Amino acid sequence: MDFLKESNQNGFGFFVVSVLFYLFVFFLIQFFQHKKRFYLFYSLYALVNGVNLLKYIDGVFFSDFFDSLVGRNLTYWMHYPAQLTASMLFCFFIMDIMRLKREYPTIVKGILWTYAVVSPVYLSLWAVQLIGYQPYWIGYFHGFFFLPLNVVLFVVVLYMVMGRERMIKWYILSGMSALFISYVTITLFSLEKSGVEEETLYIFYLGVLIESLLFALAIGLEQKMAYKKKAIVQKKYIAQLEENQAIKESINRTLSDELIQTKTEMEGLTTEAQKERTEKLTMKMENRFAQLRLDALRGQMNPHFIFNALGSIKSYLIENNQEKAIYYLGRFSKLIRGTLESSREDLITLEKEMNTIRMYVEIESDRFKNNITYTYHVDESLKPDQVLIPSLLLQPFVENSIWHGLTTKKGDKLLKIEIKAEGPDRLRITVEDNGIGREASQKRNLHAQFKDKSLGLSILQDRLDFFSKKFKEEFKVRVIDLKEEKTGKPMGTKVVLSLPILTVGTM
């Protein structure tokens, strides 16, 4: 007990102060690395507590400074602002690390308003003390209002922490309890002795030390949970990539097996029947080869889009925005799954196609900071769940509108899709944007829209030709450059698709 009572002289107090300064430096570095506000709050809280305790330490290199006139004046001037700052940082740290604003937004807002009102009054009375006019006002305000207010706020924060179900909850509660017990104990000693004696400061040292260690453990556990969430997100999109690769390999194997089987059948034909059978098998092989080639190509999402989408997820992980990363990954996975499911079908319903396009536009818009306005309209005479169109028909046009027309445009960015009937048996689909136009896109050294080298559009033209032959109906596309009538200024691009109306049950 004598050792603890002499903590200001025997090094124990200096040890506690050293721990606080170490925690200040360590968690300040963590704040700059991870950008989490509770690191900053706790770092500054440790600093303020450490500075407050320096004046009590004897027999070290800074003791003479605090015994000097300048040191005493500095202690006198900074005592009350330090009390206010420590109180605010303590509450802000607990509310941030426990995420109390999500569960108790009204109470947290009330606490913030309380500090916003009390702080100017407190600092004004402190300024009055500094100029020597009515110096006791700040003492009365601190003792009879601010300290009781701190107790009330402590109890309110304690209540909110108890209501949260988080792994770090008990570390925070234990740290708060240790600090509260030390304050109450030293207050009782002060009432008995009519003032705080330095030999009882070991109680406060112990409370601060235990609280600091428990809070540090809570922060460490919070960081560990964040790393686990990040690892889970990474595993999910790695698994998605592996699934995509497996599907592409399966399609390629099917293509190879079909070709080998057809070749074997052709070699087994007799010479007499070879000509007729060869023609039929050759046509069958060409059709099957074309079909499997289209299936394989449709199953491959644009690698640039996948790379950019994964890059966005990676940036959210680097920023420790796990919730945004998980939400973005979920939409990305749904789009990939929907695309792969559609790639197995020649025709899909208009409803499925528009759902896929909607997810694609949402992901691209999110990647470009949500500044693309997307609208679509379907003629009331059409039933989206009954009308059939070639699968993944619209994605290449929407992709070109966004990448080559809208991303470099300043101002409002609009993308509109309109679907309506042309007579009783034709369907008209319009994809229109207000981008910079094809000519401006070429001048910016971007890949021009609708070049033959565009893989997506090249495949699309092949598919339209394939369906025209298969259904003996015209599947055609037309590209229109929108310009202002008087000035000729580009106003965007419009793609018009004309197809026969195909419905479920007739195919």
Q: What is the pLDDT along the chain (507 residues), one digit of tens a residue?
A: 555 555 655 667 778 788 888 888 888 888 898 888 888 988 898 888 888 877 777 666 666 666 677 767 777 788 888 888 988 998 998 898 888 888 899 999 999 999 999 999 988 888 888 787 666 788 888 878 888 888 898 889 888 888 888 888 888 888 888 877 877 776 666 555 544 455 556 666 777 778 878 888 888 887 787 778 777 877 877 887 888 788 888 888 887 887 787 777 666 655 556 666 666 666 666 665 555 555 554 444 455 556 656 666 666 666 656 777 777 778 778 878 877 777 778 788 999 889 888 888 888 887 777 678 889 899 988 889 999 998 878 888 888 888 888 888 888 889 999 999 988 889 999 999 988 887 877 777 554 444 444 555 666 777 788 888 888 889 999 988 888 888 888 889 999 999 998 888 776
Domain-terminating residue out of 209, 231, 253: 231
- Provide the 3-class DSSP secondary structure of residue 483: strand
CATH number at residue 159: 1.20.1070
SS3 content of the chain, % helix, strand, coil (to 5): 70, 10, 20
* 472: helix, strand or coil: coil
Q: Where are the alpha helices (DSSP H) in 131-200?
A: 136-141, 147-162, 169-193
Give domain status of residue 481, yes or no. yes
Residue 17 lies in a domain: yes
Q: Is there a domain that residue 477 lies in?
A: yes
Does the residue 430 lie in any domain?
Answer: yes
- Which secondary-structure segment (H or E) carries 72? helix 69-97
- Domain presence at residue 195: yes
pTM of the model: 0.48
* Number of compact structural domains in the chain: 2
**Is 192 inside a domain boundary?**
yes
In a domain, 278, yes or no: no
Q: List the domain range (segments joined by +) for residue 20.
A: 2-231
- DSSP E strands in 60-143: the ranges are none
Number of residues assigned to the chain: 507
Domain contains 58 = yes
> Looking at residue 391, which CATH number applies to its domain?
3.30.565.10
* Number of Cβ within a 10 Å radius of residue 311: 10
Task: Give the strands of the sheet with 502-503, arranged side by side.
Answer: 347-349, 387-390, 502-503
Query: Are 209 and 216 a contacting pair, CB within 8 Å?
Result: no
Q: Which of 180, 202, 231 is the last residue of a domain?
A: 231
Last residue of a domain, one of 231, 248, 275: 231
Residue 294 in contact with residue 466, Cβ under 8 Å?
A: yes
For 310, the token pair is 């994964």
Distance CA 115, CA 149 (A): 10
